[in-house]
Amino acid sequence: MRNLVLKLHIYAGLLTFSQLMLYGIAGLVATAQTAAERPKVPHAVRYVPFTVQPGTTDRQVADDIYNTLHLPLTRPMPGWFLRRTPENDLLLDFYNINGIWRVVVLEREGRLRIEEIRNRLGLFLGDMHAVTIGDDEAPRLVRVWAVYNEFAMWCLLAFCVSGVYLWLTAQARSWWAWASLATGTASFVLMWMSFR
Amino acid sequence: MYKIIRTIHLLLASFSLPFLIMYGVSAVQMSHSTWFQMKPAVTEHELSLASGETDARIVAREIMNQLPDTKGELSNVQSAGTGLSLRIVVPGTVHEVRYDRTSGVVRVKTSVGGKMGMLNRLHHWAGFWHEPTSMKAWAIAVAIVSLGLLLVGATGIYMWFTRRPERRIGIVLLAANVAFAVTLLTLLRSAGP
């Protein structure tokens, strides 16, 4: 039995190694964050000719722009997310896993201003660790990653169980391992209580 | 050497165990939100402060003095019309405050998440930019566990590779995982912006 559990622990660990490394990196990235808000500085700006059809609603304009630009890995703009700039131009933020394409509809000039806001690599990896299968409307590539992420998530819980089993069945005599477990548990409990 | 690596793997994993369980369970909750009842317990209080106050920090401190359970980090400060709105937050608990500058009346709506709500918030809580000491302590724990996870993985690789029976199949599994991850991450990253 122990041998079987050990093999499963090893093979599952190898099969989800990249995801586990990603989880560790995501934690370090989150630790290094200096504020709740993400930076939103565009790294590139370009203009594209675009004519808004007379009499169309903001939602229709947003859909037209989505169908025209074909911005990769984005999805149609939900109605509740339509906004205006201080100059009252329609503002559309098309999000994907890498950042934002910020499109300002300059109707009077007959063009779109497209700002490309790209998240740093650390934020990208942090977002990748958070992808879940609960998002049915996500782009296909993202959903593929989500499925593997789901598998890795369950493996992580299984490692907790199998790891304890392997330790206890190895005649867990080392007092320092028990001390380490006690320290981690006490830290967690104390912080939980302080937040409550 | 193997014994040292194994000891490191064991010590890091045993320290991190409660945190890893927290992350795993809360990840299940986020991935399958319909499986769990997440409705917070909501209570409301009303109290009186001096009128005419414009500084949200003073309002927050006065509230914490009068309602000792209303502790946490001040956030989401907004000034609107005749009043202020702000939030006082700790993981799992949110106090939404509305202060009427004219009358000095304060309404505090407190939402307390259950255990799953708390786990969800702890999963998202990280970084040293939070003010309270308890949250900075949590940030230290997150950093240790995150680094620990990387080292647990690395030591695990070492220990696996020294085991001949699992080496051949292991190489296939590891190669498949790394190839899949690198390919997908590269494709997604290169999609822009």
Return residues 33-62 of B near A (CB < 8 Å).
Answer: 33
Percent of residues, chain A, with pLDDT higher than 70: 99
Closest to B20 (Cα-Cα) out of A151, A154, A130, A150: A154
pLDDT tens digits, one per residue of B26-52: 999 999 999 998 889 999 999 999 999
Rg (CA), chain B: 24
- Find the DSSP H helices in chain B: 2-31, 56-66, 115-124, 133-161, 167-189
* Rounded Cα–Cα distance for residues B23 and B71 (Å): 25
Print burial letters for A179-196: b (CB count within 10 Å at least 16), e (below 16). ebbeebeebbeebbebbe
Higher pLDDT, residue A187 or A77: A187
* Rounded Cα–Cα distance for residues A77 and A66 (Å): 8
Contact check, Cβ <8 Å, A100/B193: yes
Phi, psi of A39 (to 5 degrees): -65, 140
Contact check, Cβ <8 Å, A160/B19: no
pTM of the shown model? 0.88
B17, B112, B118: best to mutate for the A interface, most A CBs within 10 A: B17
Residue-level pLDDT at B131: 80
Residue B17 identity (one-letter amino acid) = L
If you average pLDDT over residues B102-112, what whole number do you get?
93
Contact check, Cβ <8 Å, B11/A176: yes
Residues in chain A with CB shorter than 8 Å from the CB of B134 are 191, 194-195
Asked whether the predicted pLDDT for residue A80 surpasses 90, the reply is no
pLDDT tens digits, one per residue of A83-118: 999 999 999 999 999 999 999 999 999 999 999 999
Our CA-based measurement puts residue B26 at a distance from the nearest CA of chain A, in whole angstroms, of 10
Helix, strand, coil percentages, rounded to 5, for chain A: 55, 15, 30
